[in-house]
Structure formats: C-alpha cells, structure tokens
Amino acid sequence: MIPASARRVALLLSLACAVPSSASDPAVAWRSWPDGLEQARARKRPVLVNVHTDWCGWCRRMERDVYARPEIRQYLDRKFVTVKLNAESAEPAPYQGEDLTARELASRFRVTGYPTTLFLRSNGEHLVSVPGYVAADRFLLLLRYIGDGHLERGVTWEAFRAKNP
C-alpha cells in the first residue's frame, strides 16, 4: 500500500503535468473578414484565412493539433493577419467592392472542402488555396514559404522544400 503522503505528492505532480505548456501562450488572434482585411492593409502583412464550418471534424482537429502549437501561433502572430471564415455563414464578407456573405465568398474562392486555408496578399488579392488538414510540421513549412516571401519571389514549393527538409 502506498502511504497517503506519497499519493498526495503523486497527485500534485500529475496535476502539474496536466497543465498544457501552451496555457500561458495566447491563442491565435482570429479576426473577422472585414477587420482582418483592414488590418492586413494597415500592417502590410499577408492574410491567412481559415475557412471552416461548425460541423467539420477536421477543422476542429486542425485547431487542436496545428493552430494550438506555440511555434505556429508565434509565427502567425509575427508574419500574418489571421481571419476565420465560416463557409456556411450569412455574415457580411465584402470583397473587391462587392457585398458578399461568408458563404458566397467561400464559393468565390472555390472552396469545396473543409478546412481550407486561403493565403491573400495584404491588399486582399488571392495567392493560393490549400485544401484539407495539413499536419503541423508541414503547415509551419508552408507558413514560412509564404510568410518569408519565397512564393512572391518565384521560388517553387518543390525548390523550397528541397532546401528546407
């Protein structure tokens, strides 16, 4: 039988280990569509748009396994303006002078599966769409490819990956 004092120590240690290391790290600063585009223009930063739905299991997994990683959150905070767009919402999402809903905007970007990550220039111009769940390590590499300007300089994804295994 384990003494009560040893059980208390074991319990305290297990509780201390149960606190996630990211508890002190802030979450991704998701913005609304109009606010995000305005911030991107003002800060001259590219935009990452997390296109999701309420029912999407892979979207929740991406939130939990990818966006929750401290190195990803920190990189996003330094290099991007982050926007969350519910592809089934009727919320206003004006784009390029047109009054659209979030649903219409997702359709305009030809989003057909969830999650989809859109990357836009700071002026709102579409750069690239990345459909589906992307594992954290590969996602961070993708963020660096776009956030550090490799795509804009004409470096191919394949050449970038070859130099950054």
Q: Mean of the per-residue pLDDT values for the chain? A: 87
CATH code for the structural domain at 22-163: 3.40.30.10
Q: What is the per-residue pLDDT across 25-40, written as a single tens digit (0 to 9) for each?
A: 568 999 999 999 999 9
How many other CB atoms are found less than 10 A from the CB of residue 52? Answer: 23
Mean pLDDT across 61-81:
97
165 band by pLDDT with thresholds 50, 70 and 90:
confident
User: What is the predicted pLDDT for the residue at 23?
Assistant: 44
**Helices (H) then strands (E): counts for the chain:** 7, 4
Distance CA 116, CA 134 (A): 9
Distance CA 4, CA 10 (A): 10
132 torsion bin: left (phi>0), alpha (psi -120 to 50), beta (else): left
Mean pLDDT across 80-100:
97
Of 7-21, 71-85, 140-154, where does mean pLDDT reach its minimum?
7-21
Phi and psi dihedrals of 124, rounded to 5?
Answer: 95, -5
* DSSP conformation letters of 16-54: HHHS-GGGGSPPP--B-HHHHHHHHHHHT--EEEEEE-T
pLDDT at 70 over 80: yes
Q: What is the per-residue pLDDT across 96-147, written as a single tens digit (0 to 9) for each?
A: 999 999 999 999 999 999 999 999 999 999 999 999 999 999 999 999 999 9
User: What is the predicted pLDDT for the residue at 14?
Assistant: 34
The domain spans of the chain are: 22-163
Amino acid at 74: Q
User: Nearest to residue 81, comparing CAs of 13, 15, 28?
Assistant: 28
